[in-house]
């Protein structure tokens, strides 16, 4: 299970942080909160927790929260705290992902399980989750806790559903979208909802911003899954697409299976799940049924839906950046 997104894996990180210009000062504040919170008097805990904090990467979720907030009203202290909270939760899921994937590197750093061990990763992830919840509870209102608790639970449910669907190539497109909506888009959605609500947005506007973050998250994840298959195509036989290697059904495969003739379908399933699996040989089938183009179109369509939801916002630099973000995702998967 991977909760990294296409945007985060982008080769030009500078471009992305430049995007945060309208909230640059606020993002610095968030870094300060993260640094201050993720400090511990016990040396071993301190070392681990600080290292974990470095792994989070591009700070996409805090940026979404703050940009949404700024597009609607003034950015307040509560926003900064909540931005740190969503980043901590994201980092917790990454640290636990690395245990499951037995990954060795993340963002040019050794993963926690590679540098320490799985035990350290499990405990560090738990520490980050619980610290995030505690931090959310320092606000005066229970609203932040409620939205973050619910969203995080849906993320975990999505991860479990994805695990349960491994090797199930009967999975429909609808089920696939519902799973990535849980595991990836729920957290981007709640980031935008929190940004809006704590800027005094109406329920209606907050719901639209939630929808924006949700569509954006889904577009990201489709694009990310697509890159996994594309990596596969380019390096045929060398480095297997990790999703296919793990029998994780993603959109291009689902699409090809849906359109395939009975004979092609049988061959494809044999390559994916047979006794002598050869997932690196799926490319011709994806091409035959234009499955990659289809997945690209679906990502673009979710990105467009996200973009349209921004129409409710008044014009502002923050809104412009949110619009740009919806374009990033599509540009990565073509």
Q: Return residues touching a second copy (CB under 8 A).
A: 1, 40, 42-45, 48, 92-93, 96, 99-100, 118-120, 122-127, 129-131, 133-142, 145-146, 148-150, 152-153, 155-157, 159-161, 163-165
Shortest CB 255 distance to a second copy, Å: 23
Shortest CB 90 distance to a second copy, Å: 13
Tabulate helix, strand, coil % of the chain (nearest 5).
Answer: 75, 0, 25
Task: List 223's β-bridge partners, or say none.
Answer: none
d(Cα 254, Cα 172) in Å, to the nearest integer? 7
d(Cα 164, Cα 42) in Å, to the nearest integer? 38
Instruction: Show the tokens assigned to 234.
Output: 């380019």
Please tell me whether residue 238 adopts helix, strand or coil conformation. Answer: coil
Burial class (CB in 10 A: 0-12, 13-18, 19+), 316: middle
User: CA angle, 64 as apex, 60 and 66 as ends, to 5°?
Assistant: 115
Shortest CB 77 distance to a second copy, Å: 16
Shortest CB 199 distance to a second copy, Å: 20
Nearer to a second copy, 44 or 239 (CB): 44
Shortest CB 305 distance to a second copy, Å: 25
Shortest CB 272 distance to a second copy, Å: 20
Largest CA distance in the chain: 63
Q: Which of 105, 118, 114, 121 is nearest to 48 (CA)?
A: 121
Nearer to a second copy, 96 or 307 (CB): 96
Shortest CB 81 distance to a second copy, Å: 13
Nearer to a second copy, 129 or 328 (CB): 129
**Cα torsion at 50, 54, 60, 61 (round to 10°)?**
-20
Burial class (CB in 10 A: 0-12, 13-18, 19+), 246: middle
């Amino acid at each position: 299970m991977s909760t990294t997104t296409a945007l985060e894996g982008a080769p030009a990180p500078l471009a992305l942080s430049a995007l945060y210009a309208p909230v640059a000062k606020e993002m610095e504040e968030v870094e300060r909160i993260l640094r201050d919170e993720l400090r511990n008097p016990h040396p071993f805990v301190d070392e681990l927790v600080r290292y974990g904090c470095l792994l989070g990467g591009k700070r996409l979720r805090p940026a979404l929260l703050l940009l949404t907030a700024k597009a609607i009203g003034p950015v307040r202290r509560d926003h900064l705290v909540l931005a740190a909270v969503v980043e901590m939760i994201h980092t917790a899921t990454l640290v636990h992902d690395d245990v499951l994937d037995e990954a060795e590197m993340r963002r040019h750093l050794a993963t926690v399980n590679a540098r320490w061990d799985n035990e350290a990763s499990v405990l560090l992830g738990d520490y980050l989750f619980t610290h995030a919840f505690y931090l959310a509870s320092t606000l005066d209102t229970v609203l932040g806790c409620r939205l973050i608790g619910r969203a995080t639970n849906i993320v975990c449910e999505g991860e479990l559903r994805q695990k349960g669907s491994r090797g199930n190539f009967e999975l429909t497109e609808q089920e696939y979208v519902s799973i990535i909506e849980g595991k990836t888009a729920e957290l981007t959605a709640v980031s935008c909802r929190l940004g809006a609500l704590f800027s005094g947005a109406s329920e209606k506007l907050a719901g639209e911003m939630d929808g924006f973050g949700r569509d954006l998250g889904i577009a990201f994840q489709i694009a990310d899954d697509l890159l996994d298959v594309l990596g596969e195509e380019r390096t045929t036989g060398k480095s297997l697409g990790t999703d296919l290697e793990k029998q994780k059904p993603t959109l291009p495969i689902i699409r090809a299976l849906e359109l395939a003739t009975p004979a092609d379908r049988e061959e494809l399933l044999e390559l994916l799940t047979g006794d002598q699996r050869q997932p690196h040989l799926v490319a011709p089938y994806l091409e035959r049924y234009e499955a990659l183009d289809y997945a690209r179109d679906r990502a673009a369509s979710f990105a467009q839906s996200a973009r349209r939801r921004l129409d409710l916002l008044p014009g502002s630099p923050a809104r412009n950046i949110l619009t740009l973000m919806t374009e990033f995702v599509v540009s990565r998967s073509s």
